[in-house]
Structure 1
């Protein structure tokens, strides 16, 4: 027992943080929320919003608080889920810091406002991060890459695409979500047939939207199903 107590006192102290990979679709582009760090380490470098979890809050509460403090966004209105834990001992130069990453999604989210230790907060096109993503602080490039692949996978098997669309949407708007996240063109007719033949994916609202040109487009809302059967699989030029 004494030996166990002796060994336990030699365990290195660790800290727990939360980081958030927050995505939205704006101007037919997939955007991720970044902050410019106002403090060391990595002062002036872009990073995902996040910070230390306080001793009296849950991980989720810490994630919501950090999102509000650093970007002025109410995360309780977003689709928010845990992505994973990242604990490389060299990920933070301040010491052993384990972070719990969250994935958050929402429709056309507002312009963020930087606060606390964030000099500014802004939306960055995911497509433009490929060349300069190495500038991200800590291991946030790894987290961002994992989060993006998780979204792409979820689009195949769940109705998560509707989270990007708001309360009502056209099938064209839903198709755009798939196209910008998967990075591939989808045939409109085949996509429409696939969506409407998937039970519970979407439901008609009975209303229409009049575009600037062309015919009125029927409006839909998210249906009762979350898991899609059959799934909409990537890899082909369009859903079969």
Structure 2
């Protein structure tokens, strides 16, 4: 029948980002069963009866990687339901962006043969790096993170509870893939009301001068915004 409604199964896919060794990294699993057995993909799975979407995201993260999703910044990116996106039939996926600082090595479980952190490879994202349509999902999640770094304090989600301005700058550089002038960055960050708050403590590195420690402030929007240099506006 031409107007027969489609019955979708609902899945959750997670783009989990962190900073490892100064580089932006994404959590990937090696699929342990069809479809796309042996291919790398984003972690995720199907929503169970009576389960909330956020609860599914937390459960799948725990089952497939051993990570506790309750400790991560977690937000929905968008829903993907293009016909044919999943060989198993009509599957709509609700994608989540998850962020946390210095996440541990994951442990695979359920249908994942292996779970690991991979540096985000922008070139491979254009050439079918991931299974299903996960290249598209990851690209969208990355752009969400890049954009939100401009107008929100999201960058602090990549940091520990206290951090230096240099560590915060390293987040922007890793996510935006740019180099930022340290003095200019420091001036802009500390000039945004409620972005960061000094703790009064310092970190003493093995070499060099002590660095002041900050924590996240109470701002939900940054004014003025931290605009990306590649936009030609900074």
TM-score normalised by L of structure 1:
0.93
Partner of 1:138: 132
Matched, 1:107 2:107: no
Partner of 1:16: 10
Q: 1:96 aligns with which of 67, 90, 93?
A: 90
Q: What is the 5 A alignment of 1:185-200?
A: 185-200=179-194
Q: 1:19 touches 1:49 (CA, 8 Å); kept in 2?
A: yes
SS in 1 for 2:161: coil
Q: What is the 5 A alignment of 1:1-240?
A: 10-126=4-120, 128=121, 130-131=123-124, 134-235=128-229, 240=234
Q: 1:35 touches 1:48 (CA, 8 Å); kept in 2?
A: yes
Alpha-carbon distance between aligned partners in 1 of 2:233 and 2:105, rounded to the nearest angstrom:
33
Structure of greater Rg: 1
Structure 1 residue 235 displacement after superposition:
2.6
Q: Across the two proteins, how many residue pairs are aligned to each other?
A: 233
1:139-158 Cα distance to aligned partner (Å, 9 max, x none): 00000000001100000000
Q: 1:175 touches 1:186 (CA, 8 Å); kept in 2?
A: yes
Alpha-carbon distance between aligned partners in 2 of 1:11 and 1:195, rounded to the nearest angstrom:
51
Alpha-carbon distance between aligned partners in 2 of 1:49 and 1:181, rounded to the nearest angstrom:
21
Alpha-carbon distance between aligned partners in 1 of 2:85 and 2:65, rounded to the nearest angstrom:
23
Alpha-carbon distance between aligned partners in 2 of 1:184 and 1:94, rounded to the nearest angstrom:
40
SS in 2 for 1:135: coil
1:132-184 Cα distance to aligned partner (Å, 9 max, x none): 65131100000000000110000000000011011000000000000011011
Alpha-carbon distance between aligned partners in 1 of 2:108 and 2:119, rounded to the nearest angstrom:
18
Aligned alpha-carbon RMSD (Å):
1.8
TM-aligned CA distance change 1:21 to 1:168, over 3 Å: same
Unaligned runs of 5+ in 2: none
Structure 1 residue 129 displacement after superposition:
5.0
TM-aligned CA distance change 1:19 to 1:236, over 3 Å: closer
Q: 1:50 touches 1:66 (CA, 8 Å); kept in 2?
A: yes
Q: 1:48 touches 1:140 (CA, 8 Å); kept in 2?
A: yes
